[in-house]
Amino acid sequence: MQKIATKLFVWASIAFGIVGMAMVITTSPESDGPNVILLKLMFACAIVIAVSFALSIASKYLANRS
């Protein structure tokens, strides 16, 4: 389970970086704000990163405990 959570963490981090860069590149000075779809994708990536990090830490803790 820890390997799966770690792989998920890595891929979500890469996606977070790509979406963040796309958000910075596509936002124009004249626009009212960032692209809503990219913003939602970025938040989704952040949630996946947080959950996979927590799973990785929890599985490592539980493996050491038993």
What's the pLDDT at 45? 94
With tokens 């809503």, the residue in question is 36
Q: Is the pTM of this model over 0.75?
A: yes
Give yes or no for residue 21 having a pLDDT over 90.
Answer: yes
Task: Name residue, tokens 């990536």.
Answer: 45
- Residue 35: per-residue pLDDT: 86
Side chain identity at residue 4, one-letter code: I
Domain count, the chain: 1
Residue 65 has pLDDT above 80, yes or no: no
Backbone angles phi, psi at 65, to 5 degrees: -75, -35
> What residues make up the domain containing 36?
2-65
Handedness of CA 52, 54, 56, 58 (dihedral sign): negative
Q: Give pLDDT tens digits for 24-35.
A: 898 888 888 888
